[in-house]
Amino acid sequence: MKEFEDIAKKIVANKDEKAGAGNVKFVREYIECLSGFHPALPKALEEEVVQFAKKLKARENEFLVEVSPRIVHGFIRLAKASARMNMRRQVTLFDIAKVRHIFEQSLKVKR
């Protein structure tokens, strides 16, 4: 975890250094470890997703894109990716909230 933190600090500091062999190895191992990781969306959170999709659809005229089933699939994929990144076997309410915020901000039209 310390290696990952160091990499993140370099990225945030915007240093143009090339990744060292140790960093590359760590990232490859991390990705390899997560490649077989497939978090599930618990039944208890399905209604959260449905209600959010329903709210988006009701506000569809405020957005540049149509709110379609593809949006719902993308929402679920991002929630699962958030859980995977944190090495959790199931999507949590935290993942749902994070993705909800991303969607709300990305679909907004500034006026």
The residue type found at 25 is: K
3-class state of residue 27 by DSSP: helix
Residue 13 pLDDT:
78
pLDDT at residue 16 tops 70: no
β-bridge partners, 40: 90
DSSP 8-state symbol, 15: -
User: Which pLDDT score, from 0 to 100, does residue 111 have?
Assistant: 58
* Residue-level pLDDT at 26: 81
Cβ(76)–Cβ(41) below 8 Å: yes
Residue 110 pLDDT greater than 70, yes or no: no
What is residue 17's predicted lDDT score, i.e. its pLDDT?
59
Q: Please report how many Cα atoms fall inside a 13 Å half-sphere around the Cα of residue 105, on the Cβ side.
A: 6
Residues 6+ apart with CB under 8 A from 68: none
pLDDT band at 19; cut points 50, 70, 90: low
